[in-house]
Structure 1
Amino acid sequence: MRKLFLCAASCVLLAIQSSLGLCSKDLSSPLDNLADNVWTMIGPGDADQVTSLSVTRDGSVFLGSDIGGIYLTTNQGDNWSALNVALNNYDVTTAVLPAPNDSNTLFVGTRGGFYKSQDGGQTWRNPRKGLPSLSTHKLSGSIGAISTDPYNPDNLYLGLGYRQSSDGTTTVKKLKWSRYIYTSSDQGESWRPILAFPTPSKVTQLLVSANHKNTIYAATSSGVYRGNTQTNLWQAILKQPCLGIMEFSENPERLLAACGTAGILESTSLGRHWEPQNAGLLFKAHSSGPDRYSIIARAKPGTDLFAINSTWGSGGGVYRSTDDARTWQRVTNRLPESWLRRSSRINAIAFDQNDSDLIYIGSSRYVYRSRDNGNSWEQLISRNTGSGWTHTGLNIFGHTRDIEVNPTNPDQIFIATADHGIAVSNDRGYSWNKIGEEPRYGQSSADLQFVQRTGEENASLYSASFTWGNKSCLSVTTNSGNTWRALCDTLDPNNRVMKILTNPATPDRIVLGTHKGIFTSNNAGNTWSNGTSALRNEKVTALAAHPSRPDTLFAGAKSGLYKSTDGGKRWLPIPFLSNVPITSVAVLRGQPETFLVGSETSRSGPAALYRSINSGKSWYPVIKKLHKYVSGIVQLPSDDSTVYIAINDHNYHDRSSGSGMFVSTDRGRTWSEQNLGLPVRRAWNISVADAYPDLVFLSSNGSGAYVLKHPPNANSGATTK
């Protein structure tokens, strides 16, 4: 009865703000309803970078993201689900396009190539015949644009490039773009090059003309081209780098182009002459880059025009013209927020095909819905629970770096992210909020660790925070993040702190793994020592403590594995495979002579997990050919025999979806995959908490935070790689 009353009360409150979501029928924690062996998403919701949106004839919406792959909603954005099975690159660079004659056949471009689905996105394939060959260690050909053919449903056109809203990372910018547009006559099964540009060009949009048969337009980094698919000849119609183009069925001579810093350009002579149409558009460059007018679109003939300036600057946003491009007015000045700050950088727009007033836009943190042609907007990443926020199935969540449970208050769970700070739940994962105050350089946190000291009511939480400008600091809070104290005044702020090691047996000792070696404090972080170490200038990526000897510590670095027997004052190398970089270390509780060490792919070979049963005197691999490195190893609190590992990967090669998570129930001798429920098979970290002895928490790289319930008396399979 009391539960019903609380639910009704929450619904009354939320009725005032109905756009924030409805009352849940069940106020219980997600930790109470876990299925065995299935990863379950937790967290407040986040879209990180929405890179594309498309709406099908039945109103379903496909969302592409920069690190989380593809998501689908069938109820106008109220709930989302991932569609990433066999999608081996999660950086989606084009909209998901259905085949004109079959809604179950879908096409999409990624940073790692072209993908096709024939079951509505449930599974994907990567046909590459005629396209650049698959590359193991780099990007072979990022897809910038795909277009179907209104005259022939079997025809496709494709251009290499990158998404309209971004030039990409340094790695992407160094790619060699093609001179060609590629065409397929069998719905993407095979390709051949046609239409050579005068110079290699990055393609950001292809438009097969519905007004002029055999005509295709290409918006590229070297200008706008009109091509003839019969003669295979291009004509440059605008010698200005442009990102988007559209034509008009009611006026076949008219074109509009979105051209970055030049804004919106119009031709009424099929590209012979162009004039700017920028009245009302804002141009305000930002330190991160210039204005980027990238998209020009409308729902259907006769409706308003929309233009997007995809920039972090104050001129960014969506602009609408109600007078056919004569004047523009920004319609995203008052976008709503949940737990995250709004962003002016809008990357994508899509229109419902049956209701032209229903519009979706995607930004660097949010996806929004408007039911009134852009006059007002609703955010779709989070629902208001009354006490905070919970996800809608979208939790791409800006590089989730760590999840930690407060040992003195197990109802309290913290999630550390890169870009979006630290989120906290005070009700066992039911609702989430930002912490009260960010630590120094606290927009991003690489690691979190709790220390519980005798006589202290609250455990101390340490955060290794950083900025993308490589500033870093260790900070501590004793009041759950309401205030923080910086402990880095005597540390080099340009030395990134990667890992924090604490031990309940030595609560005042804190060990840091950094880009320039190991630093140790024996007075809770007030002063630091670099000790005498072979690791003084090395990037240290792994730290571990012996389960029963608190002064015996282990560290992993690019040069190998190291050990200290005096609490971190001196470090000596442990004989290991030569030139194998170490990324994770564990010494098993209950059998401390058993070591597990994870490596990173290098010139010595693919990443692997190694096991020693004689305290490191000899080693053998138990899982081989992992991609790209072992990011974490944990032992289940309820069972010394059960061990989980996490694997991470990066976006800088074609197939970068990672190798997934693995579990062993025989202390690491045999392993089986454990990926059910994960839309992204790569992770930054994996953690456990004594308060939840059968649960494992995962910090995924691309789809947020997860928890898994390990079943009692589970047996590992013998599947190894």
Structure 2
Amino acid sequence: MRFRPFLASASLFLCLLTVPALHAATHPWPAVGPDGGDARSLAADPADPSHLYLGTANSWIYQSMDDGAHWTRLAQLGTGEDLVIDHIIVDERDPHTLYAGAWRLDRFGGGVFVSHDSGATWSELTGMDGQSVRALAQAPSNSHVLVAGTISGVYRTEDGGQHWKQISPPGSAEIHEVQSIAIDPTDPDTIYAGTWHLPWKTTDGGRHWFNIKKGIITDSDVFSILIDPQLPTVLYASACSGIYRSDDGGLLFRKVQGIPTTARRTRSIKEDPQNRNVVYAGTTEGLYKTLNGGKSWNRLTSPFVVINDILINPSNPQRVLMATDQNGVLASNNGGKSFEPSNSGFSERVVSSVLVDHQHPGTLYAGVVNGKSFGGVFVSHNNGRTWAQQSNGLGGRDVFALAQSSNGTVYAGTNDGLYRWSPSGWVQDGSILNSSAHAVSSRRHAYHRHESLAHIDTRVDHLFTSGPVWYAATDGGVYASRNQGVTWQGPILQGQGYLYFGKLGSRTVSVDRTSIRYSRDDGQSWHTMYRPLGLSYLTAATVTPDGTLWVGGPQGIYFTHDAGLRWFQLKRLPVNAINSLTWDPTQNSVLLSSSDSTVVYAINPKTYTWKWWNTGWLVHAVHPLGNRLVAVSDSNGVVVQPAAQSGTALAEAGGN
């Protein structure tokens, strides 16, 4: 292979011949957990109440065949992972037909999707594509009639979704941002619509609408509307100002008592199918239940449980399931007196980092964000098959980084400092020495510092504990420890966005989004290294045992053998948008993942050839796990390479 050397101010391209490659895997790597996460909606097959469906906040639908005891992934709606599936309907007339209403998490859009094979395959219904669907209901008396509430108004179909018509006034200043829909059980033309500003009603299929706000506090977002199926004039409406009941079809509402102000964001109201006086209210601060038609309420769960949906088994009303934020599905077999997680197979955790225990093969740690008291750190002792929460002492903190010392101690970088695992739980690490003089901020010069005692209390994004000097990259700069975490000094480098610290021969190298620095004195002083001009910014880095520095970014992957004097690019590598680089000592390869691809690569640093596997997921990190690989998906937890794919069951590309 021939290289053309340039000056350090220019980058080099390493163009490789590519040989045809076959897919190494036709099936995605299994998502192994940790179990739990955000669950948005629940539905049951009317012909088989133990056959359940579960909607998520990342386009996935799960199913259970045993009343929620175990879950399996069923299908993914759309083409991305940004659909929030807040409503699933199983057709009363044909249980093989399902409808799902969805909206996009980070932008306008969504739609109504239909399946005619019990959820195995889905298609988006024409006429509702692009609509942000926040509510969806089927008329109990006519299964061909469905009504959808969207950001722009109310839509209705009379032929099972083939054709849709907006039945609220187009451009209405009042009937828009529709969050809830309910249809009279005997009259499909009587429809209730709850908006972000009070409820509305039509009795003629949408030709005329009138406001039903009497008794409701002005400017109340209406999250859910429940119609008593036995007595349709009785309504419950949940709003940000409380829960209301009407006994005359919405002409007059009265606020029910017993639910505190802080818990009045009630997202779901469900009635016991065998006792109309028993009603459950799922709020952002726990589950409430009334036994007397709303006259009094009692809270059944912790106030830290955020409930998105409730499902009551019609043949056994003591079986109550809840779809919750962070904690997944909670199940009760005694009418809500007690709940237990029911998440076997359901994995929707937002995992930030994974640590493979170097002393105990098969042991994995996963750091979770957005989990509050239900998140933190999870541990598996069997390669991810089962997990247990190990968060005692973290106090609901998010975990952004995990690392392990040479003696096996595990450390966690959180949104509020650094923690160390001990036999009694997580404890905040030792004293931090903070800089009282100049921290390094120049790209071209070195500075020395004088330190004074302080305490770290900022977010720790990365931890590096492999050498004699440890580094903690925080949103307040970089700290260093020369006594294995007992005390820390810093910030020795200022700024944010630090990605990597490692040994490059006798030098310590630091990589952030915009620069590469090196130190010859274990971090006492730093100097700037030239970085590849072909990268607009840096997103990942690693060092191989031969002293080669590899970096990645939006435009691909580069490496240097001489501390940045010359850079070479693997130009033929069929992927850009690099988001992780890791050295794998088992395969003697550089592992790589990309934010644009579900494929991960293992690059041979001597021959510049590569092997690849299609994980089936967008991942942001990949690590060696014995003779297999483990990766961190964007929103589906940890995924593990099947044992059958390890060894020679790989696709290879590249050449001399």
Considering the TM-score relative to the shorter chain, is it more than 0.5? yes
The match for 1:461 is 410
CA contact (8 A) 1:515 1:537 kept: yes
* 2:329 paired residue among 364, 367, 381: 367
CA contact (8 A) 2:43 2:54 kept: yes
Structure 2 residue 125 is the aligned partner of structure 1 residue 146: no
Distance 1:430 1:199, change over 3 A: closer
Q: Which has the larger radius of gyration?
A: 2
| Paired AA for residue 379 in structure 2 | V
- CA separation in 1, counterparts of 2:55 and 2:551? 37
* 1:396 paired residue among 344, 348, 366: 348
Distance 1:328 1:521, change over 3 A: closer
The match for 1:421 is 376
- CA separation in 2, counterparts of 1:480 and 1:252? 56
Query: Following TM superposition, by how much is the alpha carbon of 1:450 offset from its aligned partner in structure 2, in angstroms?
Result: 1.4
- CA separation in 2, counterparts of 1:611 and 1:104? 52
CA RMSD, Structure 1 to Structure 2 (Å) = 3.6
Distance 1:231 1:461, change over 3 A: closer
CA contact (8 A) 2:32 2:639 kept: yes
Query: Following TM superposition, by how much is the alpha carbon of 1:489 offset from its aligned partner in structure 2, in angstroms?
Result: 6.0
- CA separation in 1, counterparts of 2:382 and 2:129? 51
Query: Following TM superposition, by how much is the alpha carbon of 1:103 offset from its aligned partner in structure 2, in angstroms?
Result: 2.6
CA contact (8 A) 2:259 2:297 kept: no
CA contact (8 A) 1:686 1:696 kept: yes
User: Matched residue pairs, number?
Assistant: 580
- CA separation in 2, counterparts of 1:104 and 1:577? 56
Query: Following TM superposition, by how much is the alpha carbon of 1:449 offset from its aligned partner in structure 2, in angstroms?
Result: 1.2
TM-score by length of 1: 0.71
SS in structure 1 at match of 2:84: coil
Query: Following TM superposition, by how much is the alpha carbon of 1:50 offset from its aligned partner in structure 2, in angstroms?
Result: 2.3
The match for 2:155 is 182
CA contact (8 A) 1:51 1:65 kept: yes
| Paired AA for residue 259 in structure 1 | A
Structure 2 residue 337 is the aligned partner of structure 1 residue 379: no
* 2:231 paired residue among 247, 251, 267: 251
The match for 1:298 is 271
CA contact (8 A) 1:195 1:229 kept: no
**Residues 188-197 or 493-502, more deviating:** 188-197
The match for 1:31 is none
* 2:497 paired residue among 539, 543, 547: 539
Structural mapping, 1:196-211, within 5 Å: 196=169, 197-199=172-174, 201-211=176-186
- CA separation in 2, counterparts of 1:148 and 1:256? 18
CA contact (8 A) 1:633 1:646 kept: no
Structural mapping, 1:687-698, within 5 Å: 687-688=623-624, 692=626, 694-698=627-631
* 2:45 paired residue among 35, 56, 59: 56
Query: Following TM superposition, by how much is the alpha carbon of 1:284 offset from its aligned partner in structure 2, in angstroms?
Result: 4.7
Query: Following TM superposition, by how much is the alpha carbon of 1:147 offset from its aligned partner in structure 2, in angstroms?
Result: 1.8
- CA separation in 1, counterparts of 2:396 and 2:232? 53
Distance 1:617 1:631, change over 3 A: closer
- CA separation in 1, counterparts of 2:423 and 2:185? 62
Distance 1:493 1:102, change over 3 A: farther
**Residues 74-83 or 352-361, more deviating:** 352-361
Structural mapping, 1:433-582, within 5 Å: 433-435=388-390, 437-438=392-393, 443-452=397-406, 458-466=407-415, 472-477=416-421, 483=427, 485-488=429-432, 490=434, 493=456, 495-503=458-466, 506=467, 508-525=468-485, 526-531=487-492, 536-540=494-498, 542-545=499-502, 549=505, 551-557=507-513, 560-566=514-520, 567-568=522-523, 569-572=525-528, 574-577=530-533, 580-582=536-538
Query: Following TM superposition, by how much is the alpha carbon of 1:550 offset from its aligned partner in structure 2, in angstroms?
Result: 5.0
Q: C-alpha deviations, 1:428-486, integer Å up to 9, x for none?
A: 656544447435x773211111121xxxxx323332112xxxxx312344769565534
The match for 1:713 is 648
| Paired AA for residue 225 in structure 2 | I
* 1:405 paired residue among 331, 336, 356: 356
| Paired AA for residue 475 in structure 2 | H
The match for 2:5 is none
CA contact (8 A) 1:598 1:631 kept: yes
- CA separation in 2, counterparts of 1:593 and 1:124? 48
- CA separation in 1, counterparts of 2:96 and 2:74? 13
- CA separation in 1, counterparts of 2:508 and 2:175? 57
CA contact (8 A) 2:413 2:419 kept: yes
* Gap regions ≥5 residues in structure 1: 1-34, 133-140, 161-176, 336-341, 382-391, 453-457, 467-471, 600-607, 648-657
Structural mapping, 1:585-624, within 5 Å: 585-589=541-545, 593=548, 595-599=550-554, 609-612=556-559, 617-619=567-569
* Gap regions ≥5 residues in structure 2: 1-24, 105-109, 435-453
Structure 2 residue 247 is the aligned partner of structure 1 residue 268: yes
Q: Which structure features the higher share of strand residues?
A: 2
TM-score by length of 2: 0.77
CA contact (8 A) 1:636 1:644 kept: no
- CA separation in 1, counterparts of 2:593 and 2:651? 13
- CA separation in 2, counterparts of 1:128 and 1:561? 49
SS in structure 1 at match of 2:567: coil
| Paired AA for residue 537 in structure 1 | G
- CA separation in 2, counterparts of 1:478 and 1:461? 8
Taking only the aligned residue pairs, the percentage that are identical comes to: 18
Structure 2 residue 290 is the aligned partner of structure 1 residue 283: no
Query: Following TM superposition, by how much is the alpha carbon of 1:123 offset from its aligned partner in structure 2, in angstroms?
Result: 3.5
| Paired AA for residue 320 in structure 1 | T
CA contact (8 A) 1:248 1:301 kept: no
Q: C-alpha deviations, 1:93-149, integer Å up to 9, x for none?
A: 4121123443333222333212333432233444564544xxxxxxxx542111224
Distance 1:94 1:408, change over 3 A: closer
Q: C-alpha deviations, 1:622-648, integer Å up to 9, x for none?
A: 56787xx6442224332124634253x
| Paired AA for residue 660 in structure 1 | T
